[in-house]
Structures are given as structure tokens and as C-alpha cells.
């Protein structure tokens, strides 16, 4: 589990997204990043549940935060490998590096 910037636990994720309390029940969080920039914020949460890989993306301007953006979408390692998270928000370089390390680690496990 890798938590970056504003996320330190599953409860932080639930709180910041105003997600249902059981949103991560039975899930293994692999990466959770939420960083602020100049008048904005970006977030990515990657988790596994029931043998499937999921992602949640969120962003906001200075007026709002992540509330109401909890919308898990099934994803693939191939799709995640193509991501570039670098940007203006705090922790984006660390998030990008951590994501690509996860992808590489998964590729090494594949038969």
C-alpha cells in the first residue's frame, strides 16, 4: 500500500471522497494519492477487489474538493502503464513513480 500526500489511510480516502463507509470493504488499496496544486487538486486511487483491478480518479478547482467523485472503474495494468501523473499538484512525481513501480512489480509476477 502506498499513500501519498493527503491520504494516509483508507479512512482518509473515504472521508475526502465522501464515499460510502463500505466503499473499500474487501479491497486492497495499492496506491492512493491526493495532492494539491495552485488552486486545484488531483487524486488517483488504485485497488484490487475480488480479483479485479479498479481505479478512482478525482480532481477539483479551489472551490470544491473530491466529494461526490467516488466512481470506481475497472481498469487494467496495461492501461495504468500508460499513465502520466506528473503535474502541478503536490506528490505527482512520487505518485507517478509509485504507479509505475506497481506496474513493473505486477509484470514481474505474470507467468
Tens of pLDDT, residues 63-93: 778 888 999 999 999 999 999 898 888 888 8
Within a 10 A sphere around the Cβ of 3, how many other Cβ atoms?
19
State the average pLDDT for the chain: 91
Q: What is the pTM of this model?
A: 0.90
- Please report, rounded to a whole number, the percentage of residues in the chain having pLDDT higher than 70: 98
Fold of 2-109: Double Stranded RNA Binding Domain (3.30.160)
Q: What is the pLDDT of residue 33?
A: 92
Instruction: Please name the residues in contact with 109: beta carbons below 8 A apart, sequence gap of 6 or more.
Output: none
Q: Are the CB atoms for 83 and 101 separated by under 8 Å?
A: no
Would the CA dihedral through 42, 32, 8, 66 be positive or negative? positive
DSSP 3-state assignment of 106?
Answer: helix
What mean pLDDT do residues 21-30 have? Answer: 97
What's the pLDDT at 36? Answer: 84
**Higher per-residue confidence, 87 vs 25:** 25
pLDDT computed for residue 111 by the predictor: 67
Amino acid at each position: 500500500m502506498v499513500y501519498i500526500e493527503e491520504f494516509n489511510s483508507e479512512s482518509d480516502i473515504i472521508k475526502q471522497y465522501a464515499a460510502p463507509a463500505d466503499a473499500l470493504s474487501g479491497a486492497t488499496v495499492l496506491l492512493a494519492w491526493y495532492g494539491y496544486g495552485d488552486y486545484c487538486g488531483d487524486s488517483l486511487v488504485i485497488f484490487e477487489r475480488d480479483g479485479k483491478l479498479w481505479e478512482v480518479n478525482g480532481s477539483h478547482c479551489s472551490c470544491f474538493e473530491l466529494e461526490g467523485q467516488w466512481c470506481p472503474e475497472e481498469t487494467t495494468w496495461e492501461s495504468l502503464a500508460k499513465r502520466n501523473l506528473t503535474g502541478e499538484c503536490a506528490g505527482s512525481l512520487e505518485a507517478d513513480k509509485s504507479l509505475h513501480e506497481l506496474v513493473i512489480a505486477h509484470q514481474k509476477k505474470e507467468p
